[in-house]
Amino acid sequence: MGNSFLFLSSKVYNQLMEKPKILVTQSILTNGIEILENAGLEVEIWQQKGPIPRETLLKLAKDKVGIISMLSDKIDSQLLENSPELKVVTNYAVGFNNIDVASATKKKIAVGNTPGVLTDATADLAMALLLNLSRKITPAKENVINGEWINWEPLGFLGKSLKGKTLGVYGLGRIGHAFAKRCVDGFGMKLIHYSRTEKLIGKKVDLETLLKESDVISLHCPLTEETRERFDYEKLSKTKKDCIFINTARGEVVNEKDLERLVSEGHFFGVGLDVTAPEPISANSPLLKSDRVLVTPHIGSADFETRSAMSELVARNIISALNKSPLPGFVNPDVWN
């Protein structure tokens, strides 16, 4: 009787000894991985360059209790159905439009994200795009590199001052607010915004007013069915012809073909895109041929401190979910109700 343990099949024995497994779909800063390992979890990281192939993701997710996903991974009902052990998925991003939250909730799988820690980094990037475009930094840099800097040009690279200009923020959440503060406090701009809730700064306006009155428009909304392609030809053509248009939110909020058409018609002083639809943007996109357009490869949260905080936050999301306590970044807090 005392030796009953000896009669356990090796399969059952292995199962008892196995640590719960977590999949990370791309290499991330390792501080979060250490937290997970110290908590007794086994972490498998997809370390190859580029997004994890769909079939590999489905296969590797099968025996995992948690997934740290990137915004390029489709976490849909097929994946959720195929992963019987799964208890938590946390995006390494604040946006979570790549995750089928309703299906996850139905299956009692907690969904996490990384709000707060990337607010300043993303607002900084939007500011960097704005300053680059308003002062023609990239064309000026190319002028120097191409050996075209002949003399001090009284009419060369004339930019657009921001002081006193009207900033229109579409979506005044955390990031929109942080960007607006930079523009208002740092550059003396006037703020109008289109947002769902009343905010104490600037003036809330309707979309028509935002489009018509803004010298700079910056998008900071999530991608939802309501915001998808919200900025199409009809809307974008209402903006001032010399408007600067910035998108650090999601590429799909803008109809990119319509944007291309307007740029080719000479509309916009500058267009700054950290996000495109699809990502990556095609190297043949006409947008890349315009010196009024600046595209960066979705680097909004890409500073060391921010990515390190994100790594820690996703680890805490996983551990909290496995303990059935509220995730620090909780997308579906009703999951266990």
Nearer to ligand DGY, 165 or 220 (CB): 220
Q: Which helix (H) or strand (E) holds 31?
A: helix 31-38
Per-residue CA distances from 41 to 16, 35, 127, 317 (Å): 14, 9, 39, 13
- Verify whether residue 279 is a known catalytic residue: yes
Query: Rounded to whole angstroms, what are the CA distances from 314 to 22, 24, 30, 63, 106?
Result: 11, 10, 11, 19, 22
Written as six digits, the tokens of 317 are 């999301």
Give catalytic status of residue 267 as yes or no: no
Cα(199)–Cα(214) distance, rounded to whole angstroms?
A: 18
Residues that bind ligand DGY (CB under 6 A): 71, 93-95, 118, 122, 298, 300-301
Q: Rounded to the nearest whole angstrom, what is the least distance from the CB of residue 113 to ligand DGY in the complex? A: 8
Smallest gap, in angstroms, from Cβ of residue 331 to ligand DGY?
12
Which residue minimizes CB distance to ligand DGY? 300
Nearer to ligand DGY, 90 or 301 (CB): 301
Q: Is 298 a catalytic residue?
A: yes
Q: Which helix (H) or strand (E) holds 150?
A: none
Residue 325 has what DSSP assignment? Answer: S
**Burial of 171 (C-beta count, 10 Å sphere; 0-12/13-18/19+):** buried
Residue 118 or 262: the one with the smaller Cβ distance to ligand DGY is: 118
* Shortest Å distance, C-beta 248 to ligand DGY: 7
* CB of 166 or CB of 176, closer to ligand DGY: 176
CB of 32: closest distance to ligand DGY in angstroms? 15
Active-site option among 182, 298, 307, 316: 298
Choice among 230, 250, 292, 307 that is catalytic: 250
Q: Which residues contact 128 (CB under 8 A, 6 or more apart)?
A: none
User: What are the residue numbers of the active site?
Assistant: 250, 279, 298
